[in-house]
Structure 1
């Protein structure tokens, strides 16, 4: 079932289409709970068949935030301080979504005809992996996406103070490593030294995954990584990125590598493994002399082009079972991969990137850096694989916006200039050859 509602009062002549069938679908959470998927909004403006069609993707869900986590303002009240707009979602991703709407509204307020056809797809599950959106994309590929020429995403940030266009993201495989021992928690004074402890096994397994240098120890995990080309090497050399400023922003004194090129390459085009936590372990303040009966370690591997999640899952599972077998432990090991997402890579010579460069030059007066994103935005690869359309990321967030962190922000300047950039992008797309 599909319902349609006219949106008025904002100056935007949009038709929002609520996809009701998604509301009847459920997603299984890690705690076993089933929850309804929220609706996805598909919207379009009046169309002119002579113009190219741009589809703008965004999301309005955010990471959790509490004032007591270290926020200086209420995270869910947009607050301006010294030219910065603070609030959860200011940069990721409510701010850019609103900037796209304001770019459209600018044309309408000036009574100027939009140079391109505009469609929107706005979801509320991106932070949880865009559950259901891949299915929806397939369902709507021959209808909503059929006349789309370009898809643009603004769900990321610049690498410095210089504007950028993003042509790639890493993928992600997230793992649970569960070790279960005795039937109940035990007193370490009574049983310590006489039983095989699940926590000891788990720590050994996690320690076997990655070296202090960042090198992943799982055999063959790096074999699929594409070799660095000379063209790509030159691209890294020209990117504006200050290591000392980056250290200060991160609050660290030393990185794993010493040069700008090495740091960026290991953030963007090489896989990484990060350990995130242990469930079932004692973590509160104070002391507790318990031997937990079951613990679950959590880690993820960021994938790069040519790496396949199913192959990575096989490599990780076989390796951990091999390491565990060598411990001769009677405990039970279970390895699962609840989340997987493929990396995404675009062709920077694509016409949409030409339009993006020209728009940046018009608004900012500089050539943009061509960058990748170390994190994962699964929908980019999904859009590319299913629709076959041109995909580009056009960020307007600053490098210090603090996405997913306390005091997330976007500067007033970035928001205003970003809105101008989006409006200029409409024009530059219209100047490309169109069938």
Structure 2
């Protein structure tokens, strides 16, 4: 159900949480990867995802550019201007207020980035691009994990097949998303996007109709790396791999982490065992024998560490639900 948005899951958990989770102490999710091929990691945060449609509609039918080009307000021209207003060439989102709720970077958090094992050139080669927006490991990871980003994904309704077709589409829909981070409120983000696009559109004095919607919104999630559960996981990794893990975030969205934590009020930890080259969601997704065998060992060690901390974990208050 994950790829379809896990429709109905939240309602089911709300109705049956006592049934499903009555005898569950902690929730462990292993749905992501290390940042490197060899060094283990623990994930303590993910970005959310707010998906938007911006629709511009002119007349009731497509028109020929030879007959109408130059005398009408073309919907696609309006849409291109709207999409262009969203993000600048440096990746900075141009929607007013969008960064207001982003938490300031603490010195403790910044230090977590210094020791992370990350091959910038390898990541660049895997992407197939020649240059990133940032040149240092720290800046890249900060903008991938703890700062919001905006990506434009496509335009529906415009001619997109090979060759030339001199049509003026009557209605076009731009699709983009914002990967929001902790403390950004989905309702506020939606309002900021709508107000920005309406403001840009109004300055064009176009008679076309504008419609902005947010069909999908998933909230971000962040955990406390000093939580006893994370300390137990760290010791388990040290036992099996002989080194401390990287503490990383994930630029993607794993909605069930926030969902399970909010509804059940149980502790949630993300404990990946797959390496960076596992190719998640690709045609050749895999887990290596090394990761499978060592991952089995580390989970056994983790259960042992949890048993040692059982009393302490129960005495500590339930996890705070963060935005």
TM-score over 0.5 (shorter chain) = yes
Question: What is the rounded CA distance, in whole Å, between the counterparts of 1:140 and 1:351 in structure 2?
Answer: 28
Is 2:290 aligned against 1:413? Answer: yes
Unpaired runs of 5+ residues, structure 1, are 1-124
Deviation at 1:415, TM superposition (A): 2.2
Structure 1 partner of 2:26: 150
Deviation at 1:212, TM superposition (A): 0.7
Deviation at 1:406, TM superposition (A): 4.1
Structure 2 partner of 1:60: none
Structure 1 partner of 2:203: 326
Is 2:103 aligned against 1:226? Answer: yes
Question: What is the rounded CA distance, in whole Å, between the counterparts of 2:167 and 2:119 in structure 1?
Answer: 47
Deviation at 1:145, TM superposition (A): 1.5
Q: Which has the higher strand share?
A: 1
Question: What is the rounded CA distance, in whole Å, between the counterparts of 1:356 and 1:295 in structure 2?
Answer: 49
Higher relative contact order (CA 8 A, sep 6+): 2
Question: What is the rounded CA distance, in whole Å, between the counterparts of 1:202 and 1:322 in structure 2?
Answer: 13
Structure 1 partner of 2:321: none
Structure 2 partner of 1:115: none
| Superposition TM-score, scaled by structure 1 size | 0.69
Structure 2 partner of 1:378: 255
Deviation at 1:271, TM superposition (A): 0.4
| Superposition TM-score, scaled by structure 2 size | 0.93
Maintained 8 Å contact 1:249/1:400: no
Deviation at 1:356, TM superposition (A): 1.1
Structure 2 partner of 1:388: 265
Is 2:19 aligned against 1:139? Answer: no
Maintained 8 Å contact 1:218/1:319: yes
Aligned Cα RMSD in Å?
1.3
The count of corresponding residues between Structure 1 and Structure 2 is: 311
Q: Secondary structure at the match of 1:433?
A: helix
Correspondence 1:205-220 to 2 at 5 A: 205-220=82-97
Q: Which has the higher helix share?
A: 2
Structure 1 partner of 2:3: 127
Larger deviation: 247-256 or 160-169?
247-256
Is 2:176 aligned against 1:176? Answer: no
Q: Secondary structure at the match of 1:410?
A: coil
Q: Secondary structure at the match of 1:431?
A: helix
Correspondence 1:5-404 to 2 at 5 A: 125-161=1-37, 162-404=39-281
Q: Secondary structure at the match of 1:375?
A: coil
Question: What is the rounded CA distance, in whole Å, between the counterparts of 1:287 and 1:230 in structure 2?
Answer: 55
Deviation at 1:328, TM superposition (A): 0.7
Question: What is the rounded CA distance, in whole Å, between the counterparts of 1:414 and 1:142 in structure 2?
Answer: 34
| 1:16-55 deviation digits (Å, cap 9, x = unpaired) | xxxxxxxxxxxxxxxxxxxxxxxxxxxxxxxxxxxxxxxx
Unpaired runs of 5+ residues, structure 2, are 315-323
